[in-house]
Amino acid sequence: MAQVTLRINGYSYLVGCEDGQEPHLKAMGEAVQSRIDSIKTLGQTGEARLLMLAALLLADELHDKEAALHAGRQTAAPDPAFDAAVRRLAVKAEEIAEALERA
């Protein structure tokens, strides 16, 4: 098991991870620090509050991405005009295939 030292808000944290996951863990630590830096621009706040707000920001971003992913998976209501156009194309493709077979 690998260990990575993350520096978040001036404090060092030794965190274990699977071998090979060190760069990913460092990137996650940097993401947390980035959120903390953005919160600090709003004024002074305690350590626990900073970490809680950073966690909420990350959770909100995750929620928005999951919602967008879920919305992308939902299918739109069938469009009758589109369905008709696809049927006409299928018929035309079959006609062309038959003509080529006869030629």
Q: Per residue of the chain (103 residues), what is the pLDDT tens digit?
A: 999 999 999 999 999 999 999 999 999 999 999 999 999 988 878 888 888 999 999 999 999 999 988 887 766 667 787 777 777 777 677 777 777 777 6
H helices of the chain, where? 22-40, 47-73, 80-102
